[in-house]
Structure 1
């Protein structure tokens, strides 16, 4: 099981309705994207991390392992905003306004990533997917996502088994052996995944599949007061941002 899924299934917020968590983290995400970056993005990140590491008890080490790749991608991507290409000779030069734009993009994207990851760390996908059809998402799309999600763990387990067998035969002893083993691993995974998908399709057809997989969804209480409380942090962030600029801070 992936670290995110393990944390989501053991989270104290597992018993909280996904709609309430969606309003909480989704509202903060909207604030990070729609409001001025400063001071909205830092406030969104602080509120989301405080809730995640506090009441939700998200493991900081697991969160750091999951977040460093997208955050590094954001940082390296923002470096392109520091330069400009143009001029009479098409030269590359530093953009005077590039640092401000890079900081703005980095702040917004980092706050948004925190909100998305913390939602994933507190909400198992198995609890979320069956409820997506209730908000109008096509059931066929939801089922495809669910099948891919379930097949992912089987594929990862197959990859580990194949890699262990290759390593036991010195398949990664040298550079050429490593390249050959990785190629064989990819080919074997493709063949096994394709065969497994065909067998799954035949199994569904033999069981009278009619285009919809009916699953038992655990009912969780959802009160209007819980939705209002979940939306309160986003409202406070928006109000604090508005107050900041009403006091004369530049946009």
Structure 2
């Protein structure tokens, strides 16, 4: 299981209605994008991280495994702002780009934490069936569900093929490693194609008529949670504007 899915199924907010968590998470995301990066991004990021590790109950190790790769993209995306091209020397460090790079990194990190607050507390199986009520076409949600399912099958295939190759000393040298990787790609493609064909046959034998009907667990929306979320979002906006006024 992927770290994000493990966190989504084991956190304390798992029984809550996805709409409650979406309201809070998307509200923080809007604040991260719309408010000034200083101190708005810091405040939004701190609130999202506190909720994620505190009331939601996501373990720090789980959160770091999920965040490490996106934070790498944020870092790489901010570095070009520190470089100037042209003149003498042709490539040089640009001190004027440092504030812009920090603002970009802070805003992106705050937005990332806001999205993670929803993704790490809500399994995709709870979200996709409810999207039809919002007007999303059934074909879109069904394709997303099938892709989500096939992703885990592909990961299982990669793990099985890699273990078999390692048991046969397929990664002993550079040449054998390259040969094993090429064979691995071919084997995984054949497995994925075969699983997709069997999945299609299974749906046809079960009388698939264009829609997959699944039972959705009924969960009431907690009005106190929504009200507390609205108060918290208002406090974030008010605190950011107040601190902005104090800072200048």
**C-alpha contact (below 8 Å) 1:83/1:92 kept by paired residues:** yes
Equivalent in the alignment of 1:114: 113
Equivalent in the alignment of 2:82: 82
User: For the residues of structure 2 that align with 1:76 and 1:194, how far apart are their CA atoms?
Assistant: 35
Matches within 5 A, 1:1-251: 1-86=1-86, 91-247=90-246, 249-250=247-248
SS in 2 for 1:15: coil
What is the root-mean-square deviation in Å for CA atoms of aligned residues? 1.7
How many angstroms does 1:148 deviate by? 0.8
User: For the residues of structure 1 that align with 2:37 and 2:56, how far apart are their CA atoms?
Assistant: 26
User: For the residues of structure 1 that align with 2:139 and 2:123, how far apart are their CA atoms?
Assistant: 20
SS in 1 for 2:57: coil
**C-alpha contact (below 8 Å) 1:85/1:91 kept by paired residues:** yes
User: For the residues of structure 2 that align with 1:160 and 1:93, how far apart are their CA atoms?
Assistant: 44
User: For the residues of structure 2 that align with 1:138 and 1:59, how far apart are their CA atoms?
Assistant: 35
TM-score, normalised with respect to structure 2:
0.94
How many angstroms does 1:96 deviate by? 4.2
Q: What do residues 13-65 of structure 1 show as CA deviations (whole Å, max 9, x unaligned)?
A: 01111010011111111111111101111111111111111111101011112
User: For the residues of structure 1 that align with 2:112 and 2:216, how far apart are their CA atoms?
Assistant: 28
How many angstroms does 1:172 deviate by? 0.8
User: For the residues of structure 2 that align with 1:94 and 1:174, how far apart are their CA atoms?
Assistant: 40
**C-alpha contact (below 8 Å) 2:32/2:107 kept by paired residues:** yes
Structure 1 unaligned blocks of 5 or more = none
User: For the residues of structure 2 that align with 1:172 and 1:143, how far apart are their CA atoms?
Assistant: 39
TM-score, normalised with respect to structure 1:
0.93
Q: What do residues 50-109 of structure 1 show as CA deviations (whole Å, max 9, x unaligned)?
A: 11111111010111122111112211221100122345x893344343111101100011
